[in-house]
Structure 1
Amino acid sequence: MNRRKKIKDVYDKRMKQANLKVNPKKAKPKYISKAEREKIAAEAATQTTDIETVETTTTEEQVKKDA
Protein backbone atom coordinates (compact mmCIF):
# COMPACT_ATOMS: atom_id res chain seq x y z
CA MET A 1 0.00 0.00 0.00
CA ASN A 2 2.79 2.41 0.88
CA ARG A 3 4.54 1.93 -2.49
CA ARG A 4 1.27 2.51 -4.37
CA LYS A 5 0.59 5.67 -2.38
CA LYS A 6 4.04 7.07 -3.16
CA ILE A 7 3.59 6.37 -6.88
CA LYS A 8 0.14 7.92 -6.85
CA ASP A 9 1.43 11.00 -5.01
CA VAL A 10 4.21 11.50 -7.57
CA TYR A 11 1.70 11.08 -10.42
CA ASP A 12 -0.75 13.53 -8.84
CA LYS A 13 1.99 16.08 -8.26
CA ARG A 14 3.13 15.89 -11.90
CA MET A 15 -0.44 16.19 -13.17
CA LYS A 16 -1.06 19.19 -10.97
CA GLN A 17 2.07 20.92 -12.30
CA ALA A 18 1.09 20.13 -15.90
CA ASN A 19 -2.39 21.55 -15.37
CA LEU A 20 -0.97 24.72 -13.84
CA LYS A 21 1.27 25.22 -16.89
CA VAL A 22 -1.65 24.75 -19.27
CA ASN A 23 -4.09 26.95 -17.29
CA PRO A 24 -2.09 29.56 -15.38
CA LYS A 25 -3.86 31.84 -12.94
CA LYS A 26 -3.96 35.39 -14.22
CA ALA A 27 -4.22 37.03 -10.83
CA LYS A 28 -1.16 39.20 -11.30
CA PRO A 29 -1.01 41.59 -14.24
CA LYS A 30 1.99 41.50 -16.53
CA TYR A 31 4.92 43.56 -15.23
CA ILE A 32 5.43 46.91 -16.95
CA SER A 33 8.69 48.69 -16.33
CA LYS A 34 8.83 52.25 -15.06
CA ALA A 35 10.13 53.53 -18.40
CA GLU A 36 7.27 51.86 -20.25
CA ARG A 37 4.73 53.34 -17.83
CA GLU A 38 6.17 56.82 -18.37
CA LYS A 39 6.09 56.30 -22.14
CA ILE A 40 2.43 55.23 -22.02
CA ALA A 41 1.56 58.19 -19.81
CA ALA A 42 3.30 60.59 -22.21
CA GLU A 43 1.39 59.16 -25.16
CA ALA A 44 -1.88 59.49 -23.29
CA ALA A 45 -1.05 63.08 -22.41
CA THR A 46 -0.33 63.97 -26.04
CA GLN A 47 -3.58 62.34 -27.12
CA THR A 48 -5.60 64.35 -24.61
CA THR A 49 -3.93 67.60 -25.70
CA ASP A 50 -4.65 66.73 -29.34
CA ILE A 51 -8.32 66.16 -28.49
CA GLU A 52 -8.49 69.45 -26.57
CA THR A 53 -6.98 71.40 -29.49
CA VAL A 54 -9.46 69.84 -31.91
CA GLU A 55 -12.36 70.75 -29.62
CA THR A 56 -11.20 74.36 -29.20
CA THR A 57 -10.72 74.85 -32.94
CA THR A 58 -14.18 73.48 -33.67
CA THR A 59 -15.77 75.78 -31.09
CA GLU A 60 -13.88 78.77 -32.52
CA GLU A 61 -15.10 77.87 -36.01
CA GLN A 62 -18.66 77.61 -34.75
CA VAL A 63 -18.39 81.05 -33.11
CA LYS A 64 -17.12 82.55 -36.37
CA LYS A 65 -19.99 80.97 -38.32
CA ASP A 66 -22.55 82.27 -35.82
CA ALA A 67 -21.20 85.81 -35.99
Structure 2
Amino acid sequence: MNRRKKINQTLKGKAKKANAKKAGSNKPKYIAKADRVVASVASEGIADVAKEESQDVLIGAEPTTEQAV
Protein backbone atom coordinates (compact mmCIF):
# COMPACT_ATOMS: atom_id res chain seq x y z
CA MET A 1 0.00 0.00 0.00
CA ASN A 2 1.51 3.31 -0.96
CA ARG A 3 1.83 6.29 1.33
CA ARG A 4 -0.91 8.42 -0.26
CA LYS A 5 -3.47 5.60 -0.11
CA LYS A 6 -2.63 4.86 3.51
CA ILE A 7 -3.02 8.54 4.52
CA ASN A 8 -6.36 8.81 2.70
CA GLN A 9 -7.60 5.62 4.33
CA THR A 10 -6.65 6.91 7.78
CA LEU A 11 -8.32 10.29 7.22
CA LYS A 12 -11.50 8.71 5.83
CA GLY A 13 -11.68 6.38 8.82
CA LYS A 14 -11.33 9.24 11.29
CA ALA A 15 -13.97 11.28 9.44
CA LYS A 16 -16.34 8.31 9.42
CA LYS A 17 -15.91 7.80 13.17
CA ALA A 18 -16.46 11.51 13.85
CA ASN A 19 -19.68 11.54 11.80
CA ALA A 20 -20.95 8.42 13.55
CA LYS A 21 -20.26 9.95 16.95
CA LYS A 22 -21.99 13.19 16.00
CA ALA A 23 -25.06 11.43 14.57
CA GLY A 24 -26.19 9.99 17.89
CA SER A 25 -28.33 6.93 18.38
CA ASN A 26 -31.99 5.95 18.23
CA LYS A 27 -31.37 3.22 20.78
CA PRO A 28 -33.26 3.74 24.07
CA LYS A 29 -31.22 4.27 27.20
CA TYR A 30 -30.54 1.10 29.20
CA ILE A 31 -32.58 0.71 32.36
CA ALA A 32 -31.19 -1.65 34.98
CA LYS A 33 -33.28 -4.64 35.99
CA ALA A 34 -33.68 -3.36 39.55
CA ASP A 35 -34.93 0.00 38.26
CA ARG A 36 -37.41 -1.74 35.97
CA VAL A 37 -38.79 -3.70 38.95
CA VAL A 38 -39.13 -0.52 41.01
CA ALA A 39 -40.90 1.24 38.14
CA SER A 40 -43.32 -1.66 37.59
CA VAL A 41 -44.15 -1.85 41.30
CA ALA A 42 -44.75 1.88 41.38
CA SER A 43 -47.01 1.74 38.32
CA GLU A 44 -48.94 -1.21 39.78
CA GLY A 45 -49.33 0.71 43.04
CA ILE A 46 -50.75 3.69 41.17
CA ALA A 47 -53.08 1.42 39.22
CA ASP A 48 -54.21 -0.31 42.43
CA VAL A 49 -54.93 3.02 44.13
CA ALA A 50 -56.96 4.21 41.16
CA LYS A 51 -58.83 0.90 41.05
CA GLU A 52 -59.64 1.08 44.77
CA GLU A 53 -60.85 4.68 44.45
CA SER A 54 -63.14 3.76 41.55
CA GLN A 55 -64.56 0.84 43.55
CA ASP A 56 -65.15 3.10 46.57
CA VAL A 57 -67.06 5.51 44.38
CA LEU A 58 -69.20 2.72 42.95
CA ILE A 59 -69.88 1.14 46.35
CA GLY A 60 -70.60 4.46 48.06
CA ALA A 61 -72.96 5.72 45.35
CA GLU A 62 -76.66 5.20 45.90
CA PRO A 63 -79.15 4.73 43.08
CA THR A 64 -80.97 7.91 42.11
CA THR A 65 -84.42 6.25 42.09
CA GLU A 66 -84.26 5.40 45.79
CA GLN A 67 -83.14 8.92 46.68
CA ALA A 68 -86.24 10.37 45.03
CA VAL A 69 -88.60 8.04 46.93
Specify the TM-score bucket, using the shorter chain as the normaliser. Answer: 0.7 to 0.9
Residue 35 of structure 2 corresponds to 36
Considering only aligned residues, what root-mean-square deviation do their CA atoms show, in Å? 1.9
Q: Which runs of 5+ in 1 are unaligned?
A: none
Residue 21 of structure 1 corresponds to 21
Distance 2:39 2:54 in 1: 23
- 1:3 maps onto 2:3 in alignment: yes
Q: Secondary structure at the match of 1:32?
A: coil
How far the C-alpha of 1:22 sits from its partner, in A, is: 0.8
Over the matched positions of the two proteins, sequence identity in percent amounts to 27
Where in structure 1 do 4 or more consecutive aligned residues deviate above 6 Å? none
Q: Size of the alignment, in residue pairs?
A: 65
Distance 1:18 1:12 in 2: 10
- What TM-score do the two structures reach when normalised by structure 1? 0.77
Rg larger for: 2
- What TM-score do the two structures reach when normalised by structure 2? 0.75
Q: Which runs of 5+ in 2 are unaligned?
A: none
Q: Give the AA of the match of 1:3.
A: R
